[in-house]
Amino acid sequence: MIWWKSKLSCQIRSVTEHLTPKITSAWQYAKFEMAPPLTIGFFYGPTVRKLEDYCSNTANNFKAGLRQQIKEIDAEEERVRKEKEAAAAKAEEEYMEASEAEAEKPEEPPKKK
């Protein structure tokens, strides 16, 4: 497996776990501090609540997609590793069989010219 895919999956996992709370608190702060005085009712009303739910669901779906890709990358790495181990074990077994067959073969006397 390419090393950068594994590194990328770790970075994506880290971003999805640590960035969400920061974005949430930044939005709550902005909603409270940056809203003009007469629009606070709008920012805490049902319209913005629907918008927040939509954005939250979209972000959660995006994170779920990233997690799925991470799982696929990890599964591919595991499959490749198991294939390599199986190939190495098979090659070792063939070598052992060949060396045993070589040892069991009777020695032929040298031919005279």
The tens digit of pLDDT for each residue in 21-58 reads 888 888 888 888 887 877 878 888 898 889 889 988 99
| Domain assignment present for 109 | no
Q: Is residue 105 included in any domain, yes or no?
A: no
- Name the band, by pLDDT with cuts 50, 70 and 90, for residue 85: very high
Residue 31 falls inside a structural domain = yes
**For residue 48, what are the contacts with CB-CB under 8 A and spacing of at least 6?**
31, 42
Domain-located, residue 111: no
Number of domains comprising the chain: 1
Alpha carbons 106 and 45: distance in angstroms, whole number: 93
Q: Please report whether residue 97 resides in a domain.
A: no
| Residue 99 within any structural domain of the chain | no
**What integer pLDDT is reported at residue 84 of this predicted model?**
95
| Range(s) of the domain holding residue 31 | 3-92
Q: What pTM was computed for the model? A: 0.58
Q: Is residue 100 part of a domain?
A: no
User: How far apart are the C-alpha atoms of 31 and 9, rounded to whole Å?
Assistant: 33
